[in-house]
């Protein structure tokens, strides 16, 4: 039986058989098939089913079911493959969700045994207490799995010192498609003879592989293993007797085509006690490449390169600031040295002297500061995502981004490769492992037209010929996959290709494990994710999606699959708080973007804006906006969600929460007429019924309305202070106006103390945020228009607009202009308002010369609101608190989990609280009673108040409490909960 004899079993038949075999997490619904139709490559193949085995028995059962039904099988880790190895039309088996234990660590032997689904960073965390680490470290280390690294023979930045994945493998426990489990590693001739004599499937395999090696010694010695980054094809050189017939190493890099890995025993290393980074500037990337042979005379842990075409893509302010301090030049090498505090200065000086003597070197910086070194490495690690957009915003793609040549040939290769791109009319950002001759480049291929696809095929063919002419490898660490397998005849002789075919057939005679990869390859231009032959439905958007020309398909395919959103380390970022809780792909930025893209294509997701699969995938999106800044390519699921909800519920009944919380600003104005009566009702026996009708989670306490609004207070007071700095417009947001007016009162006190005369917009205004997040875009536009009209005269007169609620401040800076983009009257004013809007800290730190805040000599913990993280960041707040003498700690907590209406909605409570429990809530509970808890966001303060015994305050309250005469009704950090009984929780 082979896959050519594949049965006519339907997807439902497959899932039924898997369930009967005990594989409970097997799915064939459109949502799962859509999410797993692509990896991080250019390719897309819709699977028949997706399985998440919970243990080795379920993996064995899955393979058995596939064998019985004649189905191909594709193994998948984090799905970050750039070459197309992790997609297949049969059963896709995801090992990352459950099969990820560390089975043993032996510090004496220097080994670790793991399951293949474990993420590299999780393995490093298990090794760290023993003073050990695993050497290979791809840039995707925070989400890539060991199984994926074994499949591709991954290397990473430090392979110069610690080698490839193959170099670390001691033993593998594997499962063949025909059901045999065996452990493989090095074998002596005597051991081979014993195994063959014992017979059975194991004996057959070992005997056939030994014969392959014995009969082809010369070819294996001359064509394979010529330089470290020769990864293309099968690593048959490890079958040679001088390598002790190492079947484990020979399987590394086989891309899931030969066997299923059940466990791996790996060699680990002891890192040097100290490290420094030497940053070398060069005239251009070719000059940097030419310098590599001279620099390799020094022992380095890493030698990484990138050029200006990559750094020019970066827009994030903090990263941009680091780039702007790099040595002059248009390309840089990051050289890392390891040693002791005593030896590193001399090593750095010697490397510097060599670098300065190389042609084109423009400057050198030795970086010993660990924080600065990390920030520079982050630029390099984000390369795979950053490079998917060129500086002009055009799309760039993998497909030829992993070639390697011997380092001595790197400069010559790069010259000719650059000339080839110029002749072909293509552009791309170059970066990679210069020290090992391995370059990555994303290129602006045109896959939307037949001519562009043909040009892609012609280019990669000529590039393969170029690499072969330089004695290189089509793949230097990412494997061949569908991207390069068809091109292997340009690199290897027919005899070697026949040996590859023989190796595959010995292991997998049924051709069922990841077919079409390496041998009998699928065409390089087949199964492309973007196809000129596909006729997608027309889905017009209301929001402009400016960076993507209003095209939701283009916006959602910003996600090329690098998977940074799948990071699960608490405190690693804001992006995808719900994924950090559920670990379900559909709740990652990537999973949601994939669903939206498939919706735009109309093949798997067929009902467009009405799709329930897309609605469900977006349901646990907190609209935190973390992805808009944490994702290397700025995938903005919060915006896409608003657009989707707008269309999905258009002319239809909406969830109750969209009315109760989407219209909260208007409802608050009504409640403000009798706030005590409303508060009594929401805390009476009627409360459960009110929550049910409003779509609010039963576990949530409805916030209390203040006895009086801020606007009532403000309009009945006399200004204080000198006002010598002139007027400032204070944005009166709906949350603080109605629930926590003391925050705005404190803001007035601080601004007046700083010398400003505070003004507020006429009437009662709102930015429209609650309507935006619930997808009521028509109403949001009208509300935003009113806000802009109220602010426009002041902004035109040069007044800054200061917001105290981060979500509303962010809306004024970004969302309002997007909502009104096509309004000829209000669009320009909206953009002016956006440019004039500042946070309190930004105004006081950067726009108030000579301002000195009141002294606040105490400790504090700060929770950065997720919308502030996505728009302005916390730099100004840090500076303001430092100037006040506050010993502040910024929590690496990401989103608080409440996120506006999200945490109040029925069905979201558990995820909301679990997100807060990642970092924020435990840190607040553990804080010393004398430590102030700072949270500028109303949602953040509410989450803290409802889930801990602490009361969080706004930075304005902290500063106002230190003024000589705090305003009446203001609340300092030491206030008791009882004193605020009539304020919102």
Query: Could you read off the pLDDT of 930-983 as tens digits, one per residue?
Result: 999 999 999 999 999 999 999 999 999 999 999 987 455 444 433 332 233 333
Residue 799 banded pLDDT, cuts 50, 70, 90: very high
pLDDT of residue 978: 29
- Mean pLDDT for 193-218 is 96
10 vs 469, more confident: 469
Per-residue pLDDT at 338 exceeds 80? yes
- DSSP strand E in 671-762: where? 726-731, 756-759
| 3-state secondary structure (DSSP) of residue 506 | helix
Instruction: Convert the pLDDT of each residue in 856-877 to its tens digit.
Output: 999 999 999 999 999 999 999 9
pLDDT of residue 316: 66
Bridge partners, 696 (sequence order): 905
Instruction: Convert the pLDDT of each residue in 88-118 to its tens digit.
Output: 999 999 999 999 999 999 999 999 999 999 9
pLDDT of residue 6: 46
Distances (CA, A) of 337 to 168, 229, 275, 417, 571: 21, 21, 6, 30, 28
pLDDT of residue 226: 95
DSSP code at position 814: I
Contacts of 108 (CB under 8 A, 6+ apart): none
- Mean pLDDT for 803-827 is 96
Bridge partners, 27 (sequence order): 50
Name the token pair of 541: 């958007």
Q: Where are the alpha helices (DSSP H) in 76-188?
A: 120-127, 146-152, 159-162, 165-168
In terms of Cα–Cα distance, which of 434, 429, 367 is closest to 400? 429
Name the token pair of 417: 């490769």
Q: Report the 10 Å Cβ neighbour count for 297.
A: 10
Q: How crowded is the C-beta side of 380, counted as CA atoms within 13 Å?
A: 28
Q: What is the CA radius of gyration of the chain?
A: 30
Instruction: Convert the pLDDT of each residue in 733-764 to its tens digit.
Output: 999 999 999 999 999 999 999 999 999 999 99
pLDDT of residue 410: 97
- Write the DSSP string, 111-125: EEEE-TT-BHHHHHH
Instruction: Convert the pLDDT of each residue in 393-425 to its tens digit.
Output: 788 999 898 999 999 999 999 999 999 999 999
Instruction: Convert the pLDDT of each residue in 613-654 to its tens digit.
Output: 999 999 999 999 999 999 988 899 999 999 999 999 999 999
Q: Distance of alpha carbon 681 from its chain centroid, rounded?
A: 44
Contacts of 341-350 with CB under 8 Å at 24 or more apart are 341/273, 341/274, 344/274, 344/275, 344/276, 344/368, 347/298, 347/299, 348/276, 348/278, 350/298
- Write the DSSP string, 828-864: HHHHHHHHHEEEHHHHHHHSSTT--PPP--SEEEEEP
Percent of the chain with pLDDT over 70: 97
Residue 391 banded pLDDT, cuts 50, 70, 90: confident
DSSP code at position 52: -
Residue 570 banded pLDDT, cuts 50, 70, 90: confident
Q: Report the 10 Å Cβ neighbour count for 10.
A: 12
pLDDT of residue 973: 38
pLDDT of residue 7: 54
Name the token pair of 327: 């040595």
pLDDT of residue 976: 30
Contacts of 209 (CB under 8 A, 6+ apart): 239, 245, 247, 250, 503, 506
Instruction: Convert the pLDDT of each residue in 148-168 to its tens digit.
Output: 999 999 999 999 999 999 999
In terms of Cα–Cα distance, which of 63, 52, 129 is closest to 98? 52
Instruction: Convert the pLDDT of each residue in 712-729 to its tens digit.
Output: 999 999 999 999 999 999
Q: Which of 285-289, 305-309, 384-388 has the lowest mean pLDDT?
A: 384-388
Prediction pTM value: 0.92
Per-residue pLDDT at 66 exceeds 70? yes
- Mean pLDDT for 826-835 is 97
pLDDT of residue 317: 67
Q: What is the mean pLDDT of the chain?
A: 93
In terms of Cα–Cα distance, which of 584, 558, 579, 582 is closest to 567? 579
Q: Are 957 and 931 in contact (CB under 8 A)?
A: no
User: In residues, how long is the chain?
Assistant: 985
pLDDT of residue 304: 95
CA–CA gap between residue 265 and residue 947 (Å, rounded): 43
pLDDT of residue 312: 83
Q: Are 537 and 602 in contact (CB under 8 A)?
A: yes
């Amino acid at each position: 039986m082979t896959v050519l004899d594949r049965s006519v079993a339907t997807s439902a038949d497959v899932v039924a058989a898997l369930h009967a075999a005990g594989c409970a997490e097997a799915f064939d619904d459109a949502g799962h098939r859509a999410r797993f139709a692509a990896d991080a490559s250019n390719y897309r193949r819709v699977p028949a089913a997706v399985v998440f085995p919970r243990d080795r028995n379920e993996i064995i059962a899955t393979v058995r079911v596939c064998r019985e039904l004649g189905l191909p099988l594709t193994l998948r880790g984090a799905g970050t493959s750039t070459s197309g190895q992790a997609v297949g039309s049969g059963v896709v088996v995801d090992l990352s969700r459950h099969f990820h234990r560390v089975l043993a660590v032996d510090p004496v032997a220097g080994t670790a045994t793991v399951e293949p689904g474990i993420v590299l960073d999780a393995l490093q965390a298990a090794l760290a207490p023993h003073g050990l680490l695993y050497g290979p470290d791809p840039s995707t280390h925070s989400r890539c799995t060991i199984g994926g690294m074994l499949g591709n023979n991954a290397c990473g930045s430090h392979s110069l010192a610690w080698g490839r994945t193959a170099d670390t493998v001691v033993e593998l426990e594997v499962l063949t498609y025909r059901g045999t489990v065996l452990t493989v590693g090095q074998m002596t001739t005597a051991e081979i003879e014993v195994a063959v004599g014992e017979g059975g499937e194991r004996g057959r395999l070992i005997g056939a592989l030994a014969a392959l090696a014995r009969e082809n010694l010369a070819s294996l010695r001359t064509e394979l293993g010529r330089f470290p980054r020769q990864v293309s094809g099968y690593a048959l050189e490890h079958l040679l007797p001088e390598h002790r017939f190492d079947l484990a190493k020979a399987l590394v890099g086989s891309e899931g085509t030969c066997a299923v890995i059940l466990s791996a025993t790996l060699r680990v290393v002891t890192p040097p006690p100290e490290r420094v980074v030497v940053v070398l500037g060069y005239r251009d990337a070719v000059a940097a490449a030419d310098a590599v042979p001279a620099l390799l005379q020094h022992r380095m842990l890493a030698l990484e390169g990138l050029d200006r075409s990559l750094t020019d893509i970066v827009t994030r302010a903090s990263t941009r600031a680091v780039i702007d301090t790099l040595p002059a030049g248009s390309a840089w090498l990051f050289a890392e040295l390891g040693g002791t505090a005593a030896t590193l200065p001399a090593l750095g000086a010697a490397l510097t002297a060599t670098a300065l003597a190389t042609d084109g070197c423009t400057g050198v910086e030795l970086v010993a500061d660990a924080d600065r070194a990390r920030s520079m490495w982050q630029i390099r690690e984000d390369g795979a995502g950053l490079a998917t957009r060129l500086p002009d915003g055009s799309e760039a793609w993998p497909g030829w981004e992993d070639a390697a040549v011997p380092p001595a040939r790197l400069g010559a290769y790069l010259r000719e490769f650059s000339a080839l791109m110029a002749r072909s009319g293509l552009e791309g950002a170059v970066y990679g492992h210069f020290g090992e001759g391995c370059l990555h480049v994303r290129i602006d291929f045109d896959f939307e037209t037949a001519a562009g696809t043909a040009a892609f095929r012609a280019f990669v063919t000529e590039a393969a010929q170029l690499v072969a002419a330089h004695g290189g490898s089509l793949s230097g660490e990412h494997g061949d996959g569908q991207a390069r397998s068809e091109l292997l005849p340009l690199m290897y002789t027919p005899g070697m290709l026949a040996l590859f075919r023989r190796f595959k057939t010995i292991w997998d005679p049924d051709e069922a494990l990841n077919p079409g990869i390496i041998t009998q390859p699928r065409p390089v231009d087949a199964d492309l994710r973007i196809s000129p032959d596909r006729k997608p439905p027309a889905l017009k958007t209301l929001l402009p999606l400016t960076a993507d020309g209003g095209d939701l398909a283009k916006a959602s395919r910003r996600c090329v699959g690098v998977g940074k959103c799948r990071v699960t380390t608490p405190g690693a970022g804001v992006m995808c708080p719900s994924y950090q809780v559920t670990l379900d792909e559909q709740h990652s930025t990537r999973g949601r973007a994939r669903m939206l893209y498939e919706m735009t294509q109309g093949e798997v997701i067929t009902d467009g804006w009405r799709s329930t699969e897309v609605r469900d995938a977006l349901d646990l999106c907190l609209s935190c906006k973390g992805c808009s800044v944490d994702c290397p390519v700025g995938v903005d699921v919060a915006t896409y969600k608003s657009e989707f909800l707008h269309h999905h519920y258009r002319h239809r009944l909406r969830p109750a929460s969209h009315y109760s919380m989407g219209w909260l600003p208007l409802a608050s104005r009504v409640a403000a007429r009798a706030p005590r009566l409303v508060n009594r009702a929401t805390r009476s026996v009627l409360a459960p019924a009110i929550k049910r009708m409003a779509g609010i989670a039963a576990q949530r306490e409805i916030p209390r309305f203040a006895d009086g609004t801020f606007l009532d207070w403000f309009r009945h007071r006399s200004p204080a202070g000198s006002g010598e700095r002139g007027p400032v417009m204070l944005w009166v947001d709906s949350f603080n106006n109605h629930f926590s007016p003391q925050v705005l009162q404190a803001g007035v006190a601080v601004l007046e103390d700083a010398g400003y005369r505070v003004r507020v917009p006429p009437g009662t205004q709102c930015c429209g945020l609650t309507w935006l997040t619930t997808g009521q875009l028509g109403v949001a536009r009208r509300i935003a228009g009113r806000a802009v009209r109220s602010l426009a005269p002041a902004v035109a007169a040069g007044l800054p607009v200061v917001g105290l609620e981060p979500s509303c401040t962010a809306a004024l800076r970004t969302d309002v202009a997007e909502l009104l983009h096509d309004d000829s009257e209000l669009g320009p004013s909206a953009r002016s308002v956006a440019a004039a809007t500042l946070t309190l800290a930004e105004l006081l730190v950067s726009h108030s010369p000579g301002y000195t805040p009141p002294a606040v000599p105490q400790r504090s913990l700060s929770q950065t609101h997720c919308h502030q993280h996505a728009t302005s960041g916390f730099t100004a707040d840090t500076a303001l608190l430092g100037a006040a003498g506050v010993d502040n700690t910024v929590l690496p907590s990401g989103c608080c989990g409440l996120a506006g209406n999200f945490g109040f909605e029925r069905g979201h409570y558990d995820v909301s609280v679990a997100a807060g429990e990642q970092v924020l809530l435990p840190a607040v509970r553990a804080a010393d009673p004398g430590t102030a808890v700072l949270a500028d966001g109303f949602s953040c303060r509410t989450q803290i108040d409802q889930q801990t015994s602490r009361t969080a305050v706004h930075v304005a309250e902290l500063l106002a409490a230190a003024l000589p005469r705090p305003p009446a009704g203001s609340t300092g950090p030491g206030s008791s909960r009882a004193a605020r009984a009539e304020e919102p929780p």
